Structure 1
Amino acid sequence: MNVHQKKNLQQLLFVLVGLVLVNLLAYFYFERFDLTADQRYTLSKTSIAIAKKIDSPVYIDVYLDGEFPAEFKRLETETRQLLEEYHAHNSKIIFLFTNPLADASKSDQFVAELNNLGMAPTNINSTKNGKKSLIPVFPWAIARRGDKAVKIPLLVNNFGNSADENIDKSVQMLEFSITDALTKITLKDKKKIAILKGNGEISEKYMGDFLMNLKEYYRLGEFNLDSLKTDEAKTLENLKRFDLAIIAKPTEAFSDSEKYILDQYIMGGGKTMWLIDKVSIDLDSLHNEQQTAMAYPRDLQLDDLFFSYGVRINYGLVQDLLSTPITAQTPNGDIPIDWLYSPIIKSRDNHPINKNLNLVKLEFANPMDTLKNGIRKTVLLQSSAQSKAIGAPVTIGLNQFMEGIDEAEYDGKGNQIVGLLLEGAFTSAFKDRVKPVKSFKATDTGVKNKMIVISDGDIVNYLYVNKKPLNNTIDQWTQQVYSNKEFLLNSVNYLLDDSGLITIRSKDISLPLLNEKKVAAEYTYTQLLTVGLPLVILALFGVLLTFLRKRRFGR
């Protein structure tokens, strides 16, 4: 063996030893690098912490698999890559992509089972061999752990957005949707929520779905402020065992002692969510011979509390041109009627609570004003610019919008506030006042706290229209699945969230999308640049190579 061969052999051995060492280091020291500008594949600290807590296998079945148009293929790819990141942090998170339509003999049964689980398909247009067709796509996943299962929505389908915009928002929401499901499926220590009763609140029938979804995160219990009339101190002590109180559409006035208990609960850090109707009117009251009813102010005796906290709910109703029809019965069946008292609110996208939500449907909402104090206020829900507020009392007629609407009255200056987040140290509404209860020590300035006030009690009644259940949660006239449930759940999660889960909703991801108009306008130029130019360069290289070879070798 000559010197040159020995040198080559040494170099080969060095390379082999180096490869072995690199593989050993990679086995013991794992690291992934996210080179995207928006860090879309880098999980938040909250997601990583939740993933690492999982101590038994979690199986995630993803049904977004198959031959899709480009935008849905992109969503499938992004979902797969993000799940790989979860698996990299905890190998007990196992995922599998399945095409429900792959086996034609079983697809009908598979699709029926998914529909029964509330995972309806999204039909998309597809063109193949010049023929257009509708393809059902299932943008859903299910996370399973033992006998517990949680649905994971993968598609955001917001009103007014293009397919590309919805895919962009869907990718933004992927981490939240997956981490949220992992939280639900592994949660052990649940916070407690009091559902207030005793002041004519909305029936559980109409808020049942909301409560069932809350149970996935929290422990629920009914609470009556009058349960211990002779011992208000004990009532407050019992209420303080709950982390949040939900007051949903009360219809009877609160006494001073009831208000004082709630006020002191808030001063002590108790969170509250108020769903309030300040005007008494219901669609049922229009089902009479005249098809009219009087909408009159409902005095719940809560104005002093809200005034102290920094908000005023007005005795009025919001009319909005962006609204959903209601139905009226005729001999020929139900017909839609324009109904400006059912505004559908487009998300402001200004907070994790309302980020990437579809429309929120309201019914007989009241306008609100904010008052100057030290409390930070964030508008979560606001009617469209083409809306206005009318005062109460006022006569409401079922057919009042059928003879035509004067759009000049809705001059683009509407934007009535109907949902508000308040954050800060609240001042007691009973400061410098005679206290209605003497049995416990008063607190006039509260600790740092949060509350949400929504001026429509029927926001929680999202599965019913005209007291009739929606078919598959879809409004037959607007063909929309409203986001009331998501908005309410996000609101509660924000008020009670200590883990930072809700902040994942703020993650901004921007997918690079083609400008279709620009592509069409510059199609020929693009073809010449991407196809023609490489061929020209290749031809020139061939000519140059031939010339140099002839010059060197003479042939």
Structure 2
Amino acid sequence: MSKKAKHIVVLIIAILAVNLFSKVVYKRFDLTEDKRFTLSETAVDIVENIDAPVIIDVFLQGEDFPSEFRRLQNETKQLLEEFAAINNNIIFNFINPIEDEASRERNIQQLSARGLMPMQLSVQENGKSTQAIIFPWALASYNDETITIPLVKNKIGADQQELVTNSVQHLEYAFADGLSKLTTPKHKKIAVLKGNNELSDKYIADFIKKIGEYYFIAPFTLDSVETNAQKTLTKLEDFDLIIAAKPTEAFTEAEKYVLDQYTMNGGKSLWLVDAVAMEKDSLYNETGKNFAITRDLNLTDFFFKYGVRINPVITSTLYSTPITLAIGEGSNAQFQHLQWPYSPLAASNNNHAITNNLNLVKFDFANQIDTLKNNIKKTILLETAPLTKLEGTPREISLDLVTQPQDPALFNKGNQTLAVLLEGTFTSVYSNRIKPLKLKTDKLKSAPTKMIVIADGDIIKNDVVRNKPQELGFDKWTGQSYGNKEFLLNAVNYLLDDNGLINIRTKEIAVAFLNQEKIASEKTTWQIVNILLPLILLAAFGVLFSYIRKKKYTA
């Protein structure tokens, strides 16, 4: 065999060996600066454990997409390709539901009926604006169950580029969360406290329905504490989390002691409480007035020991949601959206997993929280805008306020805390105190646990129209959607999270966009450059080559 033939044989063998090795040893390299193609360990675990085909239909498909949403389309496809590379049970398709004119309207109606609402976009091209309709949703099916996965992460005041940036950062969490719900059996349990005149079921129905997709939910009353406290505590400890949704009747010392011992045993809790009694509905009377008074729930020492204090004051801010009132009389009355400082919009100044990339959260007559020094780690989750003032109680609240100009100079208290996360080893409220009753064990220090305290019960309250609960966070008057449901869901997931899924929300991805205005204004210039520059370079090369050749052969 000739030397040349040997080289060819060696080359063929080497190529075959590389191919066989690549099939046995699979490795992908992410060279992007923000590691956008590197999946979190949690997402990888979820995908790896899928044991049957999951069919994902993505409706983010079309020819007339704005460039920003083509980016979201590409990022979605790349993410699903990463999932499919890990587990071939992931099968995905991109579908344009409005491509066929004959079935367009029927498809829109069918998707809308399933809660997949279309989104209308403004398309800017060549300096002109047109409208396009897209469906930024996916349907994932596993065995006989199908769930919806939202691909767009809404945020109040965001333009299309910001919307896409938020959505791209949210993609991995959205799909990992959806696949987890679809393929992972529920095992944790949540107790919704009853017996202290909390919100009735119809006012928390939307949120309870949502968390029911992840956890087992059951009501729990503390009424039996007085007769059999130990049995009540034992039953309560069967639950991983308790939710107190706007209690309005004071807790007894016995009830507090049982709740304290639940915390000492590692129980998690979500408290949504009002230190002031005031309801917006109470203003809709002939006078348009009512009094806000302090509400004593007998929980001051309870929260104080854990490191927070809910003050009986009302936060009033210029950055708030409007109130909708009928202005005029009879048939001439018109609904108007008017500034209402008692419905603050709250946001977070950190990138905690609960609040990162979160829409604004709406409150009503919220109170203010002070954090106190102790060994508990405290994270401020939500706070008001800087232009805020605090109003003491008792105080008359009147709808006439909407007609009065507000002086910004009076709103000088800065950001005020409305929601706090507490984490660590808690000290019992009844440490060094006489116990109201006797239990089998009396723990003075807790196992490591978590608690979230929110100074407004209305944050979980959904509207009810014709006895039908509406979506939490949706304002039927303005059509605006706020981040209440997502915030509370993130809070519950964080309190109960044992697989790190919620931490995917902190992932940051930098999405670069072209400047559409600059493209339109400089389009002709760059077209000329792209056409003429190659010709000029070619001509210059020809002249130079001719000169060198002529000089060479005339020498």
TM-score (norm 1): 0.93
What corresponds to 1:93 in structure 2?
90
Letter matched to residue 405 of structure 1? Q
Contact 1:361 1:462 in 2 (8 A): no
Deviation of 1:515 (Å) = 5.2
What corresponds to 1:199 in structure 2?
196
- Equivalent of 1:36, from 32, 35, 57? 32
What corresponds to 1:57 in structure 2?
53
SS at match of 1:264: helix
Deviation of 1:478 (Å) = 4.7
| Superposition CA RMSD, Å | 2.5
Letter matched to residue 267 of structure 1? M
Matches within 5 A, 1:4-23: 6-23=2-19
Contact 2:207 2:472 in 1 (8 A): no
In structure 2, distance between residues paired with 1:160 and 1:247: 32
SS at match of 2:121: strand
1:400 pairs with 2:397: no
Deviation of 1:403 (Å) = 2.5
1:117 pairs with 2:114: yes
Contact 1:350 1:380 in 2 (8 A): no
Letter matched to residue 26 of structure 2? F
Matches within 5 A, 1:253-332: 253-330=250-327, 331=330, 332=333
Contact 2:461 2:472 in 1 (8 A): no
Deviation of 1:540 (Å) = 2.4
Deviations 1:147-194 (A, max 9, x none): 212211111221233322221121111111110001100121420111
Q: Tell me which moved more, 83-92 or 456-465.
A: 456-465
What corresponds to 1:380 in structure 2?
381
Relative distance call for 1:537 and 1:263 in structure 2 (3 A) is same
Relative distance call for 1:273 and 1:549 in structure 2 (3 A) is same
1:428 pairs with 2:424: no
Matches within 5 A, 1:111-510: 111-127=108-124, 132-330=129-327, 331=330, 332-411=333-412, 413-463=413-463, 474-475=474-475, 478-510=478-510
Deviation of 1:216 (Å) = 1.0
Q: Tell me which moved more, 519-528 or 29-38.
A: 519-528
Relative distance call for 1:468 and 1:475 in structure 2 (3 A) is farther
Deviation of 1:324 (Å) = 1.4
Contact 2:350 2:356 in 1 (8 A): yes
What corresponds to 1:26 in structure 2?
22
Deviations 1:503-536 (A, max 9, x none): 1111111123345677789878867876655443
Contact 2:240 2:496 in 1 (8 A): yes
Deviation of 1:228 (Å) = 4.9
SS at match of 2:391: strand
Deviations 1:389-442 (A, max 9, x none): 10111101112221222222123x421110110111111111110001113221
Relative distance call for 1:29 and 1:398 in structure 2 (3 A) is same
SS at match of 2:324: strand
Deviations 1:94-142 (A, max 9, x none): 1111111111111111111221222212211124677532211211111
In structure 2, distance between residues paired with 1:197 and 1:41: 46
Relative distance call for 1:453 and 1:466 in structure 2 (3 A) is farther
Contact 1:347 1:358 in 2 (8 A): no
| % identity of equivalent residues | 47
Deviation of 1:357 (Å) = 1.0
- In the alignment of these two chains, the number of paired residues is 549
Relative distance call for 1:151 and 1:113 in structure 2 (3 A) is same
Q: Tell me which moved more, 459-468 or 257-266.
A: 459-468
TM-score (norm 2): 0.93
Deviation of 1:235 (Å) = 0.7
Relative distance call for 1:531 and 1:504 in structure 2 (3 A) is farther
In structure 2, distance between residues paired with 1:81 and 1:46: 18
Deviations 1:19-42 (A, max 9, x none): 222222222222111111111011
In structure 1, distance between residues paired with 2:472 and 2:490: 22
Letter matched to residue 256 of structure 1? E
Where does structure 1 lack aligned partners over 5 or more consecutive residues?
none
Deviation of 1:538 (Å) = 3.1
Contact 1:462 1:485 in 2 (8 A): no
In structure 2, distance between residues paired with 1:300 and 1:442: 24
In structure 2, distance between residues paired with 1:267 and 1:515: 56
Contact 2:324 2:477 in 1 (8 A): no
Q: Tell me which moved more, 459-468 or 419-428.
A: 459-468
Contact 2:275 2:310 in 1 (8 A): yes
In structure 1, distance between residues paired with 2:316 and 2:226: 41
Deviation of 1:229 (Å) = 2.9
SS at match of 1:401: helix
Where does structure 2 lack aligned partners over 5 or more consecutive residues?
none
Deviations 1:234-284 (A, max 9, x none): 111111110000011001000000000000100111000000011111122
Relative distance call for 1:466 and 1:103 in structure 2 (3 A) is closer
Contact 1:462 1:484 in 2 (8 A): no
Contact 1:348 1:355 in 2 (8 A): no
Letter matched to residue 373 of structure 2? K
Deviation of 1:55 (Å) = 0.2
Relative distance call for 1:424 and 1:128 in structure 2 (3 A) is closer
SS at match of 1:445: coil
Relative distance call for 1:370 and 1:521 in structure 2 (3 A) is farther
Relative distance call for 1:182 and 1:431 in structure 2 (3 A) is same
Deviation of 1:471 (Å) = 8.4
What corresponds to 1:66 in structure 2?
62
SS at match of 1:222: strand
Letter matched to residue 309 of structure 1? Y
Letter matched to residue 394 of structure 1? R
In structure 2, distance between residues paired with 1:471 and 1:221: 21
